[in-house]
Amino acid sequence: MLSGDKLRQYLKNNNQRPLANPIDDDGSNTNWQNLVERRGFSKNHNLSCGGASKNAEYGASVNYFKNNGILKRTALERGKAGGGTI
């Protein structure tokens, strides 16, 4: 992705038609990728326990997952709990 300055220079160096002022070129130099992207990360936490008595076995678990996407305002988050006796 080219910045505004690099695009103007590319067009000039390659004998292309320059951007028309002010319709196509207002002189700005916005880095659009920086505005919409971020460093993505994910985390996953698991906790479980179990045991047994003379008459039954038991267990419980909890899971939490979060994934922040590389695009701002995108994410996946979920949690789950379970347990029971046998």
Q: Which residues contact 13 (CB under 8 A, 6 or more apart)?
A: none
The domain of 64 spans 38-86
The reported pTM is 0.59
In whole angstroms, give the CA distance from residue 72 to residue 40: 9
Most confident of 13-17, 24-28, 59-63: 59-63
Query: Residue 19's pLDDT is what?
Result: 75
Query: Residue 75's pLDDT is what?
Result: 95
Position 2 confidence tier, pLDDT thresholds 50, 70, 90: confident
Query: Are residues 32 and 1 part of one domain?
Result: yes
Query: Are residues 71 and 31 part of one domain?
Result: no
Sign of torsion over alpha carbons 72, 73, 76, 80: positive
Q: What are phi and psi of 38, to 5 degrees?
A: -150, 175
Query: Are residues 21 and 43 part of one domain?
Result: no
Residue pLDDT, tens place only, 18-40? 777 767 788 888 888 889 999 99
In whole angstroms, give the CA distance from residue 45 to residue 47: 7
Query: Are residues 25 and 6 part of one domain?
Result: yes
In whole angstroms, give the CA distance from residue 83 to residue 26: 62
